[in-house]
Amino acid sequence: MKTLFKLAAAGVVAALIAGPAAADGHKVEIEFAYPYSGLFKETYAKIMKEFNKQHPNITVKFRASYENYEDGTNTILREAIADKLPDVTMQGLNRQAILVEKGIAQSLEPFIATEADFAKDGYHKAMLDLSTFDKQVYGLPFSVSTPIGYYNMDILKAAGISKIPTTWDEVITACEKIKKTGKDGMFWGWNITGNWFMQALMWSQDAPMIKNAKFNLDGEAGLNALNQMKKLFRGCGMKNYSIADGQTAFKSGKVGMMFWSTSSVGSVERDKTKDWTLQTAPFPGMLGMNAPKALPAGGNAAMFVSTSKDEKRRQAAWTFLKFITSGLGAAAVAETTGYVPPIKAANEMIGDFYAANPNKLTAVKQLPLLSTWFAYPGENGLAITKVIYDAQERIVVGDIDDMEELQEELVEEVNALMPKG
């Protein structure tokens, strides 16, 4: 079977890859930074092997990786003030707007305009839209994810569970059965970056976190989301795992179910103990629905933030940015993680890849559900994220039981931090 990476390297999607920069022999060094080294280290190793072969005159200096998307945004904001920006940065899809608003991220339209065969329509529209502001493309999507379920099929079988849950009520019932076998029921990713799972519960009801420029947790959908978390955490007796500890517990066969981003499929498959079978499935529905009405698009995009006046360096940075988000980049992302390639051609040409890797197909099946992953507007956007994070942790540890009270507190705190007018 030809892998996607080999197909891309053979030129299947070569229309998205331009010729080498600095063809006159001029050596150029550019700087690049990205988040989540644990997820993407293997991905970039694969990409760089081919990039270095095709562009020997461009040296890419990798800066220390960001811990997460919030760290990535904070780092870029600090570096902009200190005039120490890299040339290209990977930013969470929900954190692009602030870099555009502050004039740090630069429009890619001038670069795209010089490309004779660059096809914007080669990217999934829903994915490219996440990086488009005022009809200008400021980022090219690199990896896109949705939340899914991970299941230890051996634990489920031992607990007498023959059918993967499709609703959260079924998840709770499964937890009760699993706990009787001495295993933990689940790890549910409330602590994932950007309040992503809170938004997933809201979008499951087709309700955005921000509506008409206002925090939208004050209605029925918001209360439903808070109550659903409480019911899940209490019903499953979920421990207050850190992200690392929760994933380790699942990979080592101590937890029956994990609800997390598709991004970790590759790492779970590589790192899990070998004596159990992993199966992924779509994110369960709430309020009795077997599937969500929508889900937030996670992942990251490549943004051009170079302050260099050297035109050769700027062109080299564009060459790199374009390379990692086109055919070869998409190939490496699909093969080494669980993210969905952002390019239509990539998904269309790898049926054999997904046939051999069905756990990675789950994310592709959820593409029709893609919706916006909101970032809270204004200078206090990251502070709002922390307020909501803290509120969710109070539910996890049992510090609060009255969800109406919590809803009222959250709405009051967040509205006080939202931009006025």
Q: What angle do CA 198, 228, 385 make, to 5 degrees?
A: 20
CA 294 to each of CA 143, 224, 284, 324, 366: distance values in angstroms, whole numbers, following the listed order? 18, 15, 11, 28, 9
Q: pLDDT tens-digit profile of 70-106?
A: 999 999 999 999 999 999 999 998 889 999 999 999 9
Q: pLDDT tens-digit profile of 357-403?
A: 899 989 888 988 988 888 888 889 889 999 999 999 999 999 999 99
pTM: predicted TM-score of the whole model, two decimal places: 0.84
Categorize the per-residue pLDDT at 2 as very low, low, confident or very high, splitting at 50, 70 and 90: very low
CA 285 to each of CA 236, 359, 374, 386, 407: distance values in angstroms, whole numbers, following the listed order? 17, 19, 20, 26, 21
| Contact yes or no for 194/188 (Cβ under 8 A) | no
Helix residue ranges, H only, 163-212: 168-179, 196-204
Task: State residue 372's pLDDT score.
Answer: 86
Q: pLDDT tens-digit profile of 285-332?
A: 999 899 999 999 888 999 999 999 999 999 999 999 999 988 778 778
DSSP-assigned states of every residue in 211-233? ETTEE-TTSHHHHHHHHHHHHHH
Three-state DSSP state, 49? helix
Q: pLDDT tens-digit profile of 162-193?
A: 999 999 999 999 999 999 999 999 999 999 98
Domains along the chain with CATH numbers: 4-144+298-371 (3.40.190.10), 147-296+376-417 (3.40.190.10)
Alpha carbons 156 and 279: distance in angstroms, whole number: 11
Task: State residue 338's pLDDT score.
Answer: 86
Categorize the per-residue pLDDT at 348 as very low, low, confident or very high, splitting at 50, 70 and 90: low
